[in-house]
Amino acid sequence: MSDIAALVDAVGGVAHKRQLVALGARDHELTRAVRNKDVIRVRQGWYSTLPPTLPELRAVRIGGRLTGISAIAAAGGWVLDTPTLHVSVPKNAARLRSPVNRFASFAAARTRGVRLHWDAPRVGRLGTVMRVGLLDALERVVLDETLEVAVAALDWALHTRHIDSGDLDTIFDRLPAIKSSLRGWIDPKCESLPESLARTRLRLRGHHVISQARVGENQRIDMVVDGVVALETDGEEHHRDRFHADRAKDLTMTIHGYHALRATAVMVFRDWGRVAAAIESALLGRGVSPPRPLSMVRGRVPPLTQWVPV
């Protein structure tokens, strides 16, 4: 007798009936496993041991796979919010279902919060049963999302070595020319989401930002703004036990002539206006006038509005 749950787990938590039959499963064993709640039937022919509310399963239940920022979030990427579920489906896809009810059609359910992407066969040949390939997901992020979201996703992919410079070339070769200047915003030295967001937002305000600048002996500053402000962005999970070390680093930065500032990740995410005001007040205190936002300066970079989804 086959252990259906074990078979499904062995192939990643989601399996088509054909896979399970090839592994020795029989129809009555599949029926019994569903009845006993050892597995769930996601949609006709698909079985899973994963939580039914998981974004990946919602995509499979629809009849597709996660793509775009939804796929990046599921892969552990640097993503702040994912209010919309992005789902890749083949161009000839039929019988799409509700993400929460396999018995209801997608159209009849009037599903909200889901964006379907009708992708070419090339996309379908890569990735897993639950997510498109990473390059396809990143390409979709650049097409769909704002500048800071796209930059953060690419920062993460490069910093964690999920992709390399050759992969980045492949992504931009596929993209419209208007997106090409995005490459100048990416920084593989960036080490976290709050760092990425802060850097992009500061650059949009016209500031010059250097990431991971060296100071003292074998220490690095998250960001140096206009050569004056040393900005550290602290994630609680990484700095909870570093109180003394962080204050010692603040002393080092001050000794080397910087104005040391710290902002928590939550401040960057939810109270950015105050963070930016503090940075620019510190610059004024050192006699540095904050520059104009880049969208107001002709001939430098595209304004943020060119990166809003179209």
pTM (2 decimals)? Answer: 0.88
172 and 217 assigned to the same domain: no
Arithmetic mean of pLDDT over the chain: 90
83 and 177 assigned to the same domain: yes
The mean pLDDT value for 122-134 works out to 94
User: How far does the chain reach from its first CA to its final CA, in angstroms?
Assistant: 53
CATH of the domain at 210: 3.40.960.10
The mean pLDDT value for 289-299 works out to 62
110 assigned to some structural domain: yes
62: which 2 tokens?
A: 């629809």
The pLDDT, as a whole number, for residue 237 is 57
Burial class (CB in 10 A: 0-12, 13-18, 19+), 95: exposed
Q: By the 8 A CB rule, do 78 and 156 touch?
A: yes
Q: By the 8 A CB rule, do 142 and 178 touch?
A: no
91 and 175 assigned to the same domain: yes
211 and 282 assigned to the same domain: yes
- Other C-beta atoms lying within 10 Å of the C-beta of residue 104: 14
- 245 versus 161: which is more confidently predicted? 161
Q: Which of 125-129, 154-158, 264-268, 292-296 has the lowest mean pLDDT?
A: 292-296
309 assigned to some structural domain: no
The pLDDT, as a whole number, for residue 70 is 98
306 assigned to some structural domain: no
CA–CA dist 257, 151 (Å, integer): 30
pLDDT(254) > 90: no
301 assigned to some structural domain: no
109 and 222 assigned to the same domain: no
Nearest residue to 57 (alpha-carbon basis) of 71, 42, 72: 42
Domain count, the chain: 3
Nearest residue to 145 (alpha-carbon basis) of 199, 79, 210: 79
Among 117, 150, 185, which residue terminates a domain?
185
Q: pLDDT grade, residue 290 (50/70/90)?
A: confident
Measure CA 129 to chain center.
19
The mean pLDDT value for 4-32 works out to 94
140 assigned to some structural domain: yes
61 and 174 assigned to the same domain: yes
Q: Sheet harboring 40-43: ordered strands across?
A: 14-16, 46-48, 40-43
Q: Which residues are CB-neighbours of 255 under 8 A, at least 6 positions away? A: 216
128 and 81 assigned to the same domain: yes
Q: What percent of the chain has pLDDT over 70?
A: 92
111 and 202 assigned to the same domain: no
Question: What is the phi/psi pair of residue 146, to 5°?
Answer: -70, 170
- pLDDT tens digits, one per residue of 200-226: 999 999 999 999 999 878 888 999 999
308 assigned to some structural domain: no
The pLDDT, as a whole number, for residue 1 is 63
167 and 119 assigned to the same domain: yes
pLDDT(153) > 80: yes
Q: What percent of the chain has pLDDT over 90?
A: 74
The pLDDT, as a whole number, for residue 268 is 97
Residue 79 lies in domain = 55-185
The pLDDT, as a whole number, for residue 236 is 58
Among 118, 152, 185, which residue terminates a domain?
185
Q: pLDDT grade, residue 168 (50/70/90)?
A: very high
Burial class (CB in 10 A: 0-12, 13-18, 19+), 275: buried
Q: pLDDT grade, residue 310 (50/70/90)?
A: very low
Q: pLDDT grade, residue 244 (50/70/90)?
A: confident
59 and 181 assigned to the same domain: yes
Among 185, 219, 244, which residue terminates a domain?
185
237 and 262 assigned to the same domain: yes
The mean pLDDT value for 5-27 works out to 94
The pLDDT, as a whole number, for residue 113 is 92
264 assigned to some structural domain: yes
79 and 30 assigned to the same domain: no
305 assigned to some structural domain: no
Q: pLDDT grade, residue 94 (50/70/90)?
A: confident
CA–CA dist 240, 236 (Å, integer): 5
